[in-house]
Structure formats: structure tokens, C-alpha cells
A and B are shown apart, each in its own frame.
Chain A
């Protein structure tokens, strides 16, 4: 693959351009000289011929007038004409055919030549011409034959002046074409250099556009990848250095509070502050939003943590924005090259993982834990993370469906869509293995939309088959931070002609307690368009119960951990009972998760829980199997 640095203008372009322009210059000069020479010599000859025609007509008129004395008179006139030429007597031949007499006059034209010339003139006269020129032995013979009444005259002269003027034209043309050629060459050189330079400039601009961030002017991630690849290609030893991923904490909140333009300004100032800490060998990149990268080739394993501390130290100074002092905090992930990896992508992911580790531990910075990464699970995590984009693009992540069943009638009332990764090598992967990776890699938003899109697609397929069963999708609260998620969903529903109340959104309780205020707006909008909301894994979260009323949910799903031993564990039984009471108070329906046997189902039904979901009824199955289930056993056995 050619790298960005190879995007420089290839040197041959300039040479080719010069060559092309030079050949154009040469061709133009040649055409100019040839055409100009032809034109001017033709014009010279034509002037001479018309002059000769006039003379012969004049002589013919004299012959008419003089009658018998014509011969003498003409000879004298010709002598006078020859004298008038100046350059010595001009060879001339005159032949007169009159009704009085017939005579010829020849001065200095050899008889043999004259015969050949006269022969040719006769041929041309037959072709209908009465004047012209014949080139014979490097001499121009101009001729004119005129008739008047019964008299005819043929004049042939040898023109010296044509040869003279030809050489004169040639001489002048040589100088002119030299000047023209010179200008053309000069123009060619200038033009080709200019074009080459323009192309070079445009290339440079393109390269900059592709490899630099427009806000901060810093190079981007692509540039880093390119830089390291180029270094690796040229270096004999493996490239050494430290890669740091710096992510601003809570930048989104700053953005929301102060506005995006202030956020942008803040990023620029932050980048400038950061750049001041760096030595000339170190490079700062902006990889995305509030994430920066530092490539420090001069820092090794020993110095990297001190370097991170130095960066954190430099961020202590508050940045003044709209007269408000703002304290920025950042989490730094450190990955070493080649200790952790020499592969750039892996190195980037390693630094990213370390950064998330630092965020989780609130430790400001963290060094990538190689021993953790070295074990099989760590390697797998790294691999899966790098394959995520492809998985989403190639739709490797499938939705499986598990029925929610009415505990009294056994009727399938709804389905929960659960994501499974159909990995091309490792087979079917459970969500536990990849959902956390999606959350770490910043693909939450994309993934949320992916799930909604596929669920609506399935709903529309079922609709064409006459099946109407609501589908619940699991969304992360980060999806609800996506400002367009509701309109996106609404649009898809309209396009597929699916009523939005066929869609349900399940939120995990732990997640819901975060950003309660922000996401409640999104949830309310979802409710407004008709999508129902349920709380997943109810009872396991750390939040207070207050939010249930705040979030205005339709359904509570009691976590499987309370159901699994409900027959024997009395405390779990009381939790379930109180949850049911709570639900009744808030007018929500209750779904019990993880129903595994008939006893549990019967007990739950007796307690007043009307819906259940679990392996007792069906495991999550692919869409086609679920379709079959709906078609052939829409009512599952309850006893």
C-alpha cells in the first residue's frame, strides 16, 4: 500500500511535462517556418507572374497598333524593359503569332532548355492555363501566353529576383523562427514548471487535508500510522518509542455547558498547552474528538510514566474560557513499541485499552498491561477489537430472538432481540465477549443504530408473513445520548411501515442511573412516538428506586439472579414479591427473566407476575427459527 508520504509528486511528471512542451514548441516552430516560407515565396512568384502578364498584354496591344512595324517596336520595348530591371539583361524569350507575321526573340536562353520549357508550357496551355512558372535546373521560368483578336504572344522570362527574394525570405525567417523557437522553448519550460508546481501544491494540500485535523492543525491518526509505517520501512532496527493516548475526561459536559464553539476553542488551547510540553522529537496528534495521541520516540519504558506525570502536571493550570476557569482532566494510556507491539494498529489499541483502564481506575495514567494482554483472553480481546468495524460493516453481528411468554396462557407475546457475533473463525460469540469492546471503542452509537435497524427489518419481514410480535432491543444509555436516535428510529419505522409501538427499548438499571437527566429526555421522546420502555436486570443496579418513577417505564424485567432459586430462596422470593408490588404501584407490567422450569413459572404466575422469559420456553434462537416457532407453536406449553 502506498503511504501518504509517497503521495509526493513523482519526479518524472515534471520531466515529462517539459519534454511534451518542448516537442510542442519544436513542432510549432517547424510548422510556422514552413508555412511562412511557402506563403511568402508563393506571394513573390504570383506578383512576378501578374507583372509578366501585364507586360505581355501591353506588348500584345502594341502589336495590334503598330501592324507591320510591330517587330521592331517590340524588340525595342523589350530592350528597354531589360534595362529597367537593373541587374543586367534578363534572359527573355518572346514568340509572336500575328496575322501579319510570325517571329521569335530569344536572349540568352539555351535552345535545348527552351524546347523543354515550351513543351511544358504547351501541356499547361492544353490544361487551360495561360500563365505560370516552371522550375528547371534551379531556375524559375515564368511564362505568359496571351491572345487578342488574331494575334498571340508567348513570353518566357528567367527570374533571378525570385531566387534572390527566396534567399532573403529564408534568411529573415531563420532569424524570426529562432526568436519564435526561443520564446516557445522558454514558454514550454515555464509552463511545465508552473503546471508541475501547481500539481505539487495541490498534492501537498490534499496530503495535509487527509493527514491533519482542521481544528487544531495537528496531524491525525492516519498521519501517525503513516509515519510509523514509513519509519518501519526505512529503519533497519525496529522502531522504538512510546505511544500515549490522552483522553479528556468529561469533555462532553463542557461541550454541552459552554457550547460547541467554546469546546472547540478549549481543544485548541489544550492542544497548544500539550504541544509546549513536548520535545522536538515528540509529535502530538489529534485522533478524534477529545482524544489526542503523542508519539515519543525518545522515551522508553523507564521514562514513560514520568512523562505521563509531566503531562498531567501541565494540565493542572486551568484554562480560562468565557471568563470561567476550567480545569481539564485527562486519562492517559501508555503503550510501548516494540515491548507491547510493533504493529501500529495493535499499539494504538493497546494504548487505548490502557487509557480506558486509567479512566476506570481514575488513576490519571496507566501503562498497558502486557501480561494481561499476553494471555489468551487478552490476545483475543485485542483481536476482537480490531475486527469490530469489519463485523459491523459485514453484518456479522446477528440478532437472536427469545420469546416473552404469557405465564398463564403460554402465548408468545413479544420477543427480545439479543446480539450474537457470528465470528468467521471463532463461531458464535456471546454478547459478554464483545459488548464491552463496543463500548470501549466508541462504536456504541453505530452499534445502537445497527441493532435498531436490524430489529425493524425483522419486524417488517414478519409483517409480510402476517406475524405481528413486538420486539425489544437492548440499548446502552450512551445510545440515548445520541441526539438523533429517536428521529432515526421513527424514520426507519415509517419507511418500513411498522408502528413504533411494535418496538420496545430495554435499558439496564445500572446504566440507567447514569446521566439520568440527559437520557430521560430521549426516553420521553421515544415514549411520545409510541416506543415502550423497560428496565432490564431490575434489582441488580446500584441506583435508588426513585428513577423508576422519573423514567416513566412501561415494563420491569426482574433479573434472572432472583428467579433462578426462587423456589428455595425465601429472600429472593420476597424481593420478587416487592418488585411486583412496586410495579403494580407504578402501573408497569413485570417480566421475569431466566425462567428455567415449570415450578418457577407456576410460582411466578401465582405471585401475580404475568410474563416470563427463559430457557424453559426457548433459548435465544436465530430469526428463521423464531419465525418457525411463531408459526407452528405460538402457544408454548405452560404445564
Chain B
């Protein structure tokens, strides 16, 4: 079971960044012209969207940190 580790603001910010990045890749008007960079951007965008959807960040969980307020 994935344990949520993102604060709601963290989650929203990631969501916005994800949407922005993916739409930039899709509608960049030929600015990128590089499949690797486009792939990288898509990858990060999707990662951010996953964070938005699940409230979980893989790197946070590797580093063992959490921006989520502690439940008491």
C-alpha cells in the first residue's frame, strides 16, 4: 500500500507543473525538436500527474521525508 507523503499544496503544485509540462510538449510549436528531451519532459509530467492523483512521491519515500502534516 502506497503511503501518502505529500501535503495538499505540494500535490496541487505538482499537478499544475505536470499539466503545464505535458501540454508544452504536445503544443510547443516545434520548439523542442528532440525526442529525448520530449520523452524526458513527458516522463516528468506523468510522474507529477501520478503524484497529483495518489498524493505520493517516489523520491520522497526513498529519502524518507514527507511534506504531509503529521497525523496524531
A residues touching B (Cβ–Cβ < 8 Å)?
Answer: 171-172, 175-176, 179, 182, 186, 190-191, 193-194, 197
Is B8 part of the binding interface, using a Cβ–Cβ cutoff of 8 Å?
no
A191 to B41, CA, bound (A): 22
Residues of B within 8 A of A193 (CB): 60, 63, 65
Contact B31 A194 (CB under 8 A): no
Contact B63 A176 (CB under 8 A): no
Contacts A175-B31, A190-B59 given: A197-B64 contact, CB under 8 Å?
Answer: yes
| Least CB separation from A171: chain B residue | B31
A176 to B37, CA, bound (A): 7
Interface size band for B: 10 to 19
| Least CB separation from B33: chain A residue | A172
Residues of A within 8 A of B65 (CB): 190, 193-194, 197
Contact A175 B60 (CB under 8 A): no
Contact B31 A190 (CB under 8 A): no
Residues of B within 8 A of A186 (CB): 59
Residues of A within 8 A of B63 (CB): 190-191, 193-194, 197
30 contacts between A and B (CB under 8 A): A172-B32, A172-B33, A172-B34, A172-B37, A175-B31, A175-B32, A175-B34, A175-B37, A175-B41, A176-B37, A179-B37, A179-B40, A179-B41, A179-B44, A182-B44, A186-B59, A190-B59, A190-B60, A190-B63, A190-B65, A191-B63, A193-B60, A193-B63, A193-B65, A194-B63, A194-B64, A194-B65, A197-B63, A197-B64, A197-B65
B residues touching A (Cβ–Cβ < 8 Å)?
Answer: 31-34, 37, 40-41, 44, 59-60, 63-65
A182 to B20, CA, bound (A): 13
Residues of B within 8 A of A194 (CB): 63-65
Q: Interface residues of A: mostly helix, strand, loop or mixed?
A: helix
A186 to B48, CA, bound (A): 12
Residues of A within 8 A of B40 (CB): 179
Residues of A within 8 A of B37 (CB): 172, 175-176, 179
Given contacts A172-B33, A179-B44, A194-B63, 12 further A-B contacts (CB under 8 A): A171-B31, A175-B31, A175-B32, A175-B37, A176-B37, A179-B37, A179-B41, A182-B44, A186-B59, A190-B59, A190-B63, A197-B64
A172 to B34, CA, bound (A): 8
A193 to B37, CA, bound (A): 28
| Least CB separation from B36: chain A residue | A176
| Min C-beta distance of B5 to chain A, whole Å | 11
| Least CB separation from A182: chain B residue | B44
| Min C-beta distance of A186 to chain B, whole Å | 8
Residues of B within 8 A of A176 (CB): 37
Residues of A within 8 A of B41 (CB): 175, 179
| Min C-beta distance of A187 to chain B, whole Å | 9
